């Protein structure tokens, strides 16, 4: 119909079909209203759910295999050296749109270097104070207890709850 603009729901927002550059069976790829750097795009689940835990296994698989393909494209197209892929899963993690979305961000050496502090904190692999083996084993054993079911094997070091 003339004058009708096709839109899809992205949380509380309506996104025009013209922003969609990728469709799979369960996901969309969207260009971003406010890109952090050129090529910063979003991958969303077609079903509107707020949290990553709300997705079914097929939705998780489709979302991330889509992000994998999209990441390859934006890295190549925007001449990046790397990618940051992130989900802000809940308001306290910075999520403002209540609809699962992956940020796929092409990265280049030094792109955030103007502000060294920021760069350091974005570096989740950066050296910080190292813990002891014992501390780590203790935490691993503690967490392993949550996974004592038919689907996974707990580690040798873990004790049953």
**Would the annotation count 41 as a binding residue?**
no
**Would the annotation count 96 as a binding residue?**
yes
Residue 148, CA distances (Å) to 65, 85, 134 in order? 28, 30, 21
What residues numbered 56-115 form the site for a copy of itself, per CB under 8 A? Answer: 57, 60-61, 63-65, 68-69, 71-74, 77, 80-97, 103, 105, 107-112, 115
SS3 state of residue 103: strand
* Of 151, 159, 160, 161, the one binding a copy of itself by CB under 8 A: 151
**Would the annotation count 80 as a binding residue?**
no
> Sign (positive/negative) of CA torsion 142, 148, 152, 157?
positive
Nearer to a copy of itself, 48 or 73 (CB): 73
SS3 state of residue 107: strand
44 binds a copy of itself (CB under 8 A): no
Q: Pattern 122-141, binding to a copy of itself, x per CB under 8 A?
A: xxxxxxxxxx-x--xx-xxx
Token couple for 9: 């729901």
Token couple for 131: 């813990």
User: Which residue, chain included where needed, has tokens 């802000």?
Assistant: 88
- Whether 101 is catalytic: yes
30 binds a copy of itself (CB under 8 A): yes
Cβ atoms 8, 27 nearer than 8 A: no
49 binds a copy of itself (CB under 8 A): no
**Would the annotation count 12 as a binding residue?**
no
């Amino acid at each position: 119909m003339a004058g009708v603009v096709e839109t899809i729901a992205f949380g509380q927002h309506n996104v025009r079909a013209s922003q969609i550059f990728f469709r799979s069976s369960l996901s969309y790829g969207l260009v971003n209203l406010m890109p952090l750097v050129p090529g910063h795009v979003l991958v969303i689940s077609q079903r509107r759910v707020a949290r990553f835990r709300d997705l079914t296994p097929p939705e998780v698989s489709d979302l991330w295999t889509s992000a994998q393909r999209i990441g390859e494209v934006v890295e190549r197209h925007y001449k990046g050296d790397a990618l940051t892929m992130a989900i802000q899963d809940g308001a306290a993690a910075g999520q403002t749109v209540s609809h699962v979305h992956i940020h796929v961000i092409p990265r280049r050496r030094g792109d955030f270097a103007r502000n060294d502090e920021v760069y350091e904190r974005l570096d989740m692999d950066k050296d910080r104070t190292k813990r002891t083996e014992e501390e780590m084993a203790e935490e691993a054993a503690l967490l392993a207890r949550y996974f004592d079911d038919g689907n996974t094997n707990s580690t040798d070091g873990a004790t049953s709850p």
